[in-house]
Structures are given as C-alpha cells and as structure tokens.
Amino acid sequence: MTEEKQLVVGHKNPDTDAVVAAISYSYLQNQTGMNTEAVAQGEPNKETKFVFNKFDYKYPRITTAVNGDAKKVMLVDHNEKQQSFDDIDNVEVTHVVDHHRIANFETALPLYYRAEPIGCTSTILWEMYNEQDVEIPAKIAGLMASAIISDTLLLKSPTSTSKDEDALKSLAKTAGIDYEAYGMEMLKAGTDLDDKSTQELIDMDAKSFEMNGNNVRIAQVNTVDVDHTLEREAEFVSDIKKENQENNYNLFVLLITNIMTSDTTGVIIGDDNAVSTFEKALNTKVSDNKASLPGVVSRKKQIVPPLNGEF
C-alpha cells in the first residue's frame, strides 16, 4: 500500500526552525512508512541561507498554498491558521509538532499533536527520533542543531530549557560540529550588516520623537559583534551629523545591540544640552560620541521613557 502524499510545512515568513523542522519531520515520517514532502512558505533569510550552505542541503520547494497537491498536511513550528497555507481550510491537518501556544486552530477529526513549552520545535523532533529509535543523518542533525541555536540564541534566550541544551549537544555530536564556535559564526552570518551602507543602517529601523521641543531620532541595529560594526564608526558619525543638520535633529541615538549579551553600545550625537540630558536619563557617560548601555535591548521600554522624562 502506497501512502498518499502529505505536505509538511512551517510558518509563513520562515526562519531556520520553520524550514528545518519541516525537513526533519518529513524525513522521520518517511522513515516510518509515510509519503511526505517538506515545503517552505518563503525564501531563506540570511541565517537560513548560511545554514543550508554549511550543510550542503537543498532548500525545499517554496509555496504558500497546497494548490491541490495533497489532501492532508502536517504543520511544524506553528498552528495558527493565519501563519499557515493560504488554503489550509481545504485540507485535513493530520499532524502538528510545535512549541507555541494553541490559537485559531480547530480540526474536524482526531489528529497527532505534539507540543512542548520549550525553546525550539527541532528539540521536540530530536526527542521523537529518539523515542522512535530512528537514526538522524549527519546533515539533518546539522540543520536541527542550527535551528536550536537560532531559536535559543545559542541557549541564551529566556525560552531555552535544559532539554534544548541536551538536544543541541547531541545533534552537534552527530553533525560533527563544535556548536559554540559554529553557533557564533551562524548567528553572525544572520546579523551580517556588511552588505549595508552606514546610511542604510541608521535608516533601517529608526524612529523620530518630539520631546519637550527637541527633535530626537533613535535608530537600532542588531549584531553579535559590536566591535566589527564599529569598525565603520567614522562613517556612522559623519552620516549622523549630516542627518542631524538636514533634519534639525537635536539628538541622534544609534543603538548597536548585541543580541547575544543583551547589551547595547550607543552612538550619541547632538547639541550639548541634548547629549547631557541623555547622559542623565540613561545614567551613563558619552565619551568620544559613544556610551555603554549594559542590559539595554528595548528602545520602547528602556530608552524612550527615561529620555522623555528627562527632557
């Protein structure tokens, strides 16, 4: 008896775990007699591209709809309808493996559903391979280790659990990688800012605020290597000064946030009063245009309120 083909898919706007979980669950299912195809709901992001290159693995077919290709589907790393296939209502969901809350999800029939409140879907899949005693090929183990590194920021995210750590260590061994060195390299690749100009970086995620008559501009970039980003410090300073002049900003704050350590280095340029207001508000010292902001990751919660209060 040949099983009818089912599609296995992660969420829309896919990250590494969404694509990798589809691949590893599809492989596991096929090893146990099912007929499945992993697909992805979008192009790989920079980090995911790096991962698929590293382990020399083919990125799955891209589609955001079933389009009559199958009558049954399996969902990984999501369950909510709006994150799933556009035509999800036309098919039967037979399996879900996920680590998110359950919402906007309903079935007509009983199904296989496996969720755990842990850091990564690939950790749950690692457990399932173990439970079913199926060997994980080295390349797929490398993808799965990458997904765990991605979702848990190398086990440093508050969502990371001891199970994620066990899984990552075991998968890294199977894949033959040093997960700490590789993890840093992978996260760096994902936050690679090198192909963007400093002008693009100070525009990319920037917001303007009016604070007691002062025009304040606050931009933020994420990185795993602040020193590397600041190799272009002179360019940042020159671009920011031009911005301030052209837009009459009294203060420009560029937050360079290390997502691994949850610390920020600020590049602070503006009129003397505004800069000293920033120093008081954030209880820091601006020296050579730079300020250390340990523990600061959120513009909305940790920068805007104290600054607005101090002006």
Binding site for a copy of itself (CB under 8 A): 94, 99-118, 131
CA 299 to centroid of chain Cα atoms: 18
Which amino acid is located at 3 in the chain? E
Query: What's the min distance (Å) between Cβ of 103 and a copy of itself?
Result: 5
Backbone phi, then psi, for 209, in 5-degree steps?
Answer: -135, 145
Shortest reach from residue 36's CB to a copy of itself, in Å: 16
CA-to-CA distance for 150 and 63, rounded, in angstroms? 23
Toward a copy of itself, which CB reaches closer, 18 or 224?
A: 18
The total number of residues written for the chain in this structure: 311
Nearer to a copy of itself, 96 or 219 (CB): 96
DSSP state of 136: P
Burial of 181 (0-12, 13-18, 19+ CB in 10 A): exposed
Closer residue to a copy of itself in complex, CB, 147/201:
147
CA distance 184 to 161: 19
SS3 39: strand
Which residues, including other chains, have CB under 8 Å from residue 216's CB and lie 6 or more apart? Answer: 208, 209, 210, 249, 250, 251, 252, 253, 274, 307, 311
Residues whose CB falls within 8 Å of the CB of residue 180, separated by 6 or more in sequence, listed in order? 154
The distance of closest approach from Cβ of residue 247 to a copy of itself in the complex, given in angstroms and rounded to an integer, is 41
Nearest-approach distance from CB 114 to a copy of itself, in angstroms: 6
Nearer to a copy of itself, 18 or 211 (CB): 18
Q: How far is the CB of 108 from a copy of itself (least distance, A)?
A: 6
Distance, in Å, from the CA atom of 141 to the CA atom of 157, rounded to the nearest integer, reads 21
Our CB check for a copy of itself shows the closer of 53 and 104 to be 104
- Closest contact distance (angstroms) between CB of 134 and a copy of itself is 14
Q: 90 vs 208, which CB is nearer to a copy of itself?
A: 90
Q: Identify the residue whose tokens are 């020193």.
A: 227
